[in-house]
Amino acid sequence: MLNTVRPTPYERAELRIAADEILSKIVELAMSRGIACRPMLVGSVSRSTWLAGDHDLDIFLAVPEDADLAEALELARSVAPVHEEKYAEHAYIHAKINGFDVDLVPCYLLKDASRIKSAVDRTPFHTKYVSERVKGLEDEVLLLKQFMKGIGVYGSELKVGGFSGYLSELLVLRYGSFPVVLECASSWRPGETIDLEAHSTTSHQDPLIVVDPVDPNRNVAAALTLNRMFQFTAAARCFLKEPDTTFFFPPDQKPISDEDLLKQIQERGSTLLLLDFEAPPMVEDVIFPQLRKAEESIRAMFKRNGFSVLRSDVDCHPVNGITRARMLFELDVWELPRIIRRQGPPIWEAEHLSRFLSSHPKPSSGPYIEDGRAIVEIQRKYTRASDLLEKEVGTLSLGRHLTMQVQKGHDIYVGSELVQVKDQGFRTFMAGYLVARFRMC
Amino acid sequence: MLNTVRPTPYERAELRIAADEILSKIVELAMSRGIACRPMLVGSVSRSTWLAGDHDLDIFLAVPEDADLAEALELARSVAPVHEEKYAEHAYIHAKINGFDVDLVPCYLLKDASRIKSAVDRTPFHTKYVSERVKGLEDEVLLLKQFMKGIGVYGSELKVGGFSGYLSELLVLRYGSFPVVLECASSWRPGETIDLEAHSTTSHQDPLIVVDPVDPNRNVAAALTLNRMFQFTAAARCFLKEPDTTFFFPPDQKPISDEDLLKQIQERGSTLLLLDFEAPPMVEDVIFPQLRKAEESIRAMFKRNGFSVLRSDVDCHPVNGITRARMLFELDVWELPRIIRRQGPPIWEAEHLSRFLSSHPKPSSGPYIEDGRAIVEIQRKYTRASDLLEKEVGTLSLGRHLTMQVQKGHDIYVGSELVQVKDQGFRTFMAGYLVARFRMC
């Protein structure tokens, strides 16, 4: 196992050479321009905890607190004339250098992590903290990271909501080894708190609280969702009971075929509705929270109208170079009678009653009385969930970006129409949705 | 209006003669047998508050407290050699005498209503109380009774759960006239209390409390349901706003035709299920509470299985000399997918989780995690409400009498199959069910 996840000596050497070259070039350029800038290799490469083959270089260009970040950004541009400009809290540069993916990130050089101006300023402190303590535990970190990757809980981006690399390193520092991390995680409960430096100053409401050793106010696990946390707990228990390499390297999820998709739709007997539109031109960390909010809005709309959603999910995948957003709703009540009950006020509230009756002048049945209240049965607007979605999705408030995209154009597929959506991204998503199996025992 | 509800002088005379004849015969027979028995005319005839044409004679055979009721019963039998024996709290005799329906009821002759041995012993006290006070108000009582009859709230039998004759008389005594009864009822609220003698000794939880003037512990309106009470309130308000003779004499409910029934089934879009079986050989006051309980059991069974009942009702009607029980369920969710969600325990409860997972070894989807809990999707047993009813009705506990009758034989009609049930009793019931319109405004 370790041989698979541990970088080879050749990979290590190659990466070290590439990093050194870039670092030297930055120093050289900075000196020639008279800019005070100290380049730093950060991230998993800097502490030898990267997974074999998974070796992006993170290089920070640190300038003094009173300097201008723009100078460092300009410097970064010169280091890699061919590059892409990206933006998180601040602008940074992404480039391919000697075949490696390199991020060149301007930041401030600070004495104390509590005085940071943006999240990236904290990274050098993290690197320092882990580097000074992780020696001899690198393999434990590699096993843990690969385990997390294999079971699908690795990555703090909002699409995943899982464990960051730094968080996994801290877990190893806290518990001492990969198996002990699993053992301890097996009995986690919501609110589990880990404070390596015993210096916490804030109370957090997150499911897992890992106080940042370099910043007592911060929870390193703030992005971890309850479900990902316990997906890890469940898998940890299972692995300890019956260890197996498939935890680290599960078989690839294969896209579902037309035939299997139709068979499953038939067997489940539910109604699947797919809303498909072009994703707004943004990074996943911006799109996913919006998609999840829109998912909740649409679920709420179904519920308000008497329908019932069994399960739903969202995804984004590129189709012929364009990113499509896919929102999937599986309904267990998708068709309702024409008539619907409306409950009115108690009969003894004469004025309310009379307003209620005037607003339903010609009910299909009623008014009659139940539990002392007036009831009428009137005509329902939408008897099918698909009609409701088709007619109302354009008017729903789904957040500015999504509403615009949906209004620009969208398709709705109902039931077996889903086989018309052929791209592999969707079919893989669909295969995963239908199985929805996490490791637990 | 009054001319229609007020008995004619001829009807009064005829009834008086018939009653006197029976009373004399009882006195004669009692004397010849040496039995101390005082016959009494009670009920609405005794106080001239019977509705024209609605003139059953209630004659009580009162014996001293230390005598045997069996002697009075034997006496009643001899008064009407052709008779039917009935049973409420005690046995009594029903007979046709000179064309009138006569009840001959043995009871004890008591000095004080608080010492009664059974409910019938109270009746002579009621008669005395009302007779002494109702003079001059008889027409008001007649109007109120006919109004209650017309809107469907008259009768304290369990099928109706409405106002008894005695209760309507007390309302007139309390408020003084028919219009004032309606005015006061218009602003009733649950818990409304009327205590003519201001002597109440008990607190009652009923919707309307009318303390019995002859028994401070008793609520005369105990059998009145919340819904009937406010059906009266609602109609009273309406009548005062726009008086109309149809309140007293509504058009007859016509049985629904095949064509209209099919049309309504189509338009409502719901699914109607009818359970039809022979009613047990009992009086309605015994059958109806059982039918209502069974209705609740079946509704609960539908709900437990994920279906949803829009409305339901029960009835009994004679078909070719046999009383059939009919239980009607209208479903707005009557079909569900094959798969069903099962929610398991939180992942952090390791033992519960593992029991949950072992009891669902091969789910269709899952286990996955939602809100920290394990979820599986498994196969549902019944996807149609009609299958569930057909398969499970024989095993349901519907109360001893009904279960026996259902097991002896029953039919289930689904949707448009209901047109196969042709009898007028059912078609009238069905017409009423579909309209379900009470007077309110």
Domain ranges of chain A: 2-126, 138-247, 258-336+382-435, 341-379
- B267/A364 Cβ within 8 A: yes
Q: How far apart are CA A164 and CA A223, in angstroms?
A: 9
* pLDDT tens profile B88-144: 778 899 999 888 899 999 999 888 877 788 888 899 999 999 999 999 999 999 999
Cα distance from A155 to chain B (closest Cα, Å)? 18
Q: How far apart are CA A368 and CA B433, in angstroms?
A: 10
- A332/B337 Cβ within 8 A: yes
Mutation choice for A interface testing from B270, B273, B379, B440 by most A CBs within 10 A: B440
Q: How far apart are CA A299 and CA A62, in angstroms?
A: 47
CATH of domain A341-379: 3.30.70
The DSSP secondary-structure symbol of A416 reads: G
Higher pLDDT, B352 or A14: B352
Measured CA distances, A42 to A12, A125, A137, A144 (Å): 15, 9, 18, 20
What are B125's strand-pairing partners? none
Collapse the DSSP code of B67 into the 3-class scheme (helix H, G, I; strand E, B; otherwise coil) and give the result: coil
List CB contacts (< 8 A) between B345 and chain A. Answer: none
Higher pLDDT, A83 or B213: B213
What's the pLDDT at A435? 95
In the predicted structure, residue B236 carries a pLDDT above the cut 90: yes
* pLDDT tens profile B275-290: 999 999 888 888 999 9
User: Average pLDDT, whole number, for chain B?
Assistant: 93
List CB contacts (< 8 A) between A187 and chain B. Answer: 348, 350
Average pLDDT over residues B69-85: 88
What's the pLDDT at A244? 93
Average pLDDT over residues A418-438: 97
Q: How far apart are CA A168 and CA A154, in angstroms?
A: 9
- In the stretch 31-60 of chain B, residues with CB closer than 8 A to chain A read none
Across the interface, which of B268, B336, B367 has its CB nearest the CB of A337?
B268
List CB contacts (< 8 A) between A269 and chain B. Answer: 336-339, 383
Measured CA distances, A440 to A207, B369, B372 (Å): 19, 10, 13
What are A379's strand-pairing partners? A339
The DSSP secondary-structure symbol of B8 reads: P
* pLDDT tens profile A237-254: 999 999 999 999 999 999
The DSSP secondary-structure symbol of B409 reads: -
- Phi then psi for residue A69, to 5 deg, are -60, -30
CATH of domain B342-379: 3.30.70
The DSSP secondary-structure symbol of A113 reads: G
List CB contacts (< 8 A) between A355 and chain B. Answer: none
Average pLDDT over residues A287-312: 96
Average pLDDT over residues B191-206: 95
Cα-to-chain-centroid distance, residue A272:
23
CB atoms within 10 A of CB B87: 8
Average pLDDT over residues B368-380: 97
A350 at B interface, C-beta within 8 A:
yes
Residue B242 confidence class, pLDDT cut points 50, 70, 90: very high
Please report where in the chains the tokens 């009831």 appear, as a residue.
Answer: A375
- Phi then psi for residue B100, to 5 deg, are -105, 145
Burial class (CB in 10 A: 0-12, 13-18, 19+), B26: buried
What's the pLDDT at A154? 97
Across the interface, which of B231, B341, B372 has its CB nearest the CB of A230?
B372
Residues whose CB is less than 8 angstroms from the CB of residue A155 and which lie 6 or more positions away in sequence, other chains included: A162, A163, A164
B435 at A interface, C-beta within 8 A:
yes
- Phi then psi for residue A50, to 5 deg, are -90, 150
List CB contacts (< 8 A) between B341 and chain A. Answer: 310-311
Q: How far apart are CA B307 and CA A230, in angstroms?
A: 33
Across the interface, which of B226, B270, B366 has its CB nearest the CB of A337?
B270
What's the pLDDT at B257? 98
The CATH fold assigned to A2-126 is Beta Polymerase; domain 2 (3.30.460)
Residues whose CB is less than 8 angstroms from the CB of residue A128 and which lie 6 or more positions away in sequence, other chains included: A214
What are A75's strand-pairing partners? none
Cα distance from A179 to chain B (closest Cα, Å)? 18
Across the interface, which of B190, B339, B441 has its CB nearest the CB of A354?
B441
Is the separation of the CB atoms in A209 and A221 below 8 Å? yes
Q: How far apart are CA B113 and CA B132, in angstroms?
A: 16
Burial class (CB in 10 A: 0-12, 13-18, 19+), A338: middle
Is the separation of the CB atoms in A98 and A24 below 8 Å? no
Helical residues (DSSP H) of B100-249, grouped into ranges: 123-131, 138-151, 165-175, 178-186, 226-241
Across the interface, which of A267, A306, A438 has its CB nearest the CB of B338?
A267
A437 at B interface, C-beta within 8 A:
yes
Please report where in the chains the tokens 């209705």 appear, as a residue.
Answer: B295
In the predicted structure, residue B365 carries a pLDDT above the cut 90: yes
Closest CA in chain B for residue A310: B341
Q: Class for domain A258-336+382-435, per CATH?
A: alpha beta
Q: Class for domain A138-247, per CATH?
A: mainly alpha
Q: Which amino acid is at A3?
A: N
Closest CA in chain B for residue A271: B337
What's the pLDDT at B112? 81
Please state the ipTM of this predicted complex: 0.91
List CB contacts (< 8 A) between B437 and chain A. Answer: 365-368
Mutation choice for B interface testing from A295, A307, A440 by most B CBs within 10 A: A440
Q: How far apart are CA B376 and CA B357, in angstroms?
A: 9
Residue A48 confidence class, pLDDT cut points 50, 70, 90: confident
Across the interface, which of A231, A233, A335 has its CB nearest the CB of B348?
A233
List CB contacts (< 8 A) between A306 and chain B. Answer: 332
Average pLDDT over residues B198-212: 95
Q: One fold for both B2-120 and B258-336+382-435?
A: no
Structure tokens at B40: 């009494």
A269 at B interface, C-beta within 8 A:
yes
Is the separation of the CB atoms in A52 and A137 below 8 Å? no
Q: Which amino acid is at B42?
A: V
What's the pLDDT at A69? 87
What's the pLDDT at B422? 96
Q: How far apart are CA B153 and CA B173, in angstroms?
A: 19
Mutation choice for A interface testing from B183, B271, B368, B380 by most A CBs within 10 A: B368
- In the stretch 155-184 of chain B, residues with CB closer than 8 A to chain A read none
Cα distance from B268 to chain A (closest Cα, Å)? 5
Cα distance from A183 to chain B (closest Cα, Å)? 13
- In the stretch 298-337 of chain B, residues with CB closer than 8 A to chain A read 306, 310-311, 332-333, 335-337
Average pLDDT over residues A388-393: 94
Structure tokens at B24: 């004399």
Residue A371 confidence class, pLDDT cut points 50, 70, 90: very high
Of chain A, the end-to-end C-alpha distance in Å amounts to 23
List CB contacts (< 8 A) between B234 and chain A. Answer: 347, 353, 369, 374
- A371/B227 Cβ within 8 A: yes
- B234/A353 Cβ within 8 A: yes
Q: How far apart are CA A436 and CA B375, in angstroms?
A: 10
Helical residues (DSSP H) of A187-313, grouped into ranges: 226-241, 258-268, 284-304
In the predicted structure, residue B55 carries a pLDDT above the cut 80: no
Residue B67 confidence class, pLDDT cut points 50, 70, 90: confident
Residues whose CB is less than 8 angstroms from the CB of residue B361 and which lie 6 or more positions away in sequence, other chains included: none
Nearest Cα to Cα of residue B209 among B186, B233, B197, B192: B192
Cα distance from A348 to chain B (closest Cα, Å)? 6
Average pLDDT over residues B72-79: 90
Residues whose CB is less than 8 angstroms from the CB of residue B60 and which lie 6 or more positions away in sequence, other chains included: B39, B40, B42, B105, B106, B107, B120, B123, B124
In the predicted structure, residue A83 carries a pLDDT above the cut 80: yes
Collapse the DSSP code of B129 into the 3-class scheme (helix H, G, I; strand E, B; otherwise coil) and give the result: helix
What's the pLDDT at A355? 97
What are A94's strand-pairing partners? A84, A103
Cα-to-chain-centroid distance, residue B327:
15
Q: Which amino acid is at B193?
A: T
Q: Which CATH number fits domain B2-120: 2.30.40.10, 3.40.640.10, 3.30.460.10, 3.90.1200.10?
A: 3.30.460.10
What's the pLDDT at A97? 87
Interaxial angle between packed helices A69-79 and A9-33, expressed in degrees from 0 to 180 and rounded to the nearest 10: 120
What's the pLDDT at B54? 80
Of chain B, the end-to-end C-alpha distance in Å amounts to 23
Q: How many A/B residue pairs have CB atoms within 8 Å?
A: 156
Residue A68 confidence class, pLDDT cut points 50, 70, 90: confident
What's the pLDDT at B52? 86
Average pLDDT over residues A163-183: 97
CB atoms within 10 A of CB B238: 19
Residues above pLDDT 70, as percent of chain A: 100
* pLDDT tens profile A115-138: 788 888 899 999 999 999 999 999
- A436/B368 Cβ within 8 A: yes
Closest CA in chain B for residue A269: B337
Q: How far apart are CA B286 and CA B158, in angstroms?
A: 8
In the predicted structure, residue A66 carries a pLDDT above the cut 90: no
What's the pLDDT at A54? 79
Residue A307 confidence class, pLDDT cut points 50, 70, 90: very high
pTM exceeding the 0.80 threshold for the entire prediction: yes
Average pLDDT over residues B298-308: 96
Average pLDDT over residues B147-168: 96
Residues above pLDDT 70, as percent of chain B: 100
Average pLDDT over residues B148-155: 97
Residues whose CB is less than 8 angstroms from the CB of residue A436 and which lie 6 or more positions away in sequence, other chains included: A311, B365, B366, B368, B377
Angle, vertex CA A79, rays to CA A76 and CA A85, nearest 5: 45
Q: How far apart are CA B138 and CA B12, in angstroms?
A: 13
What's the pLDDT at A315? 96
Q: Any idea which of A72-86, A162-176, B314-328 has the lowest mean pLDDT? A: A72-86
Measured CA distances, A142 to A3, A59, A169 (Å): 10, 21, 9
In the predicted structure, residue B65 carries a pLDDT above the cut 90: no
What's the pLDDT at A87? 80
Concatenate the DSSP letters of all residues of B299-342 into one string.
Answer: HHHHHHTT-EEEEEEEEEEEETTEEEEEEEEEEEE-B--SEEEE
Residue B399 confidence class, pLDDT cut points 50, 70, 90: confident
Is the separation of the CB atoms in A290 and A158 below 8 Å? no
* pLDDT tens profile A349-361: 999 999 999 999 9
In the predicted structure, residue A79 carries a pLDDT above the cut 90: no
List CB contacts (< 8 A) between A227 and chain B. Answer: 369-372
Q: Which helix (H) or strand (E) holds A342?
A: strand A339-346
Q: Any idea which of B228-237, B279-288, B410-419 has the lowest mean pLDDT? A: B279-288
- A369/B438 Cβ within 8 A: yes
Average pLDDT over residues A145-173: 96
β-strand A208-212 against A192-194: which pairing, if any? parallel
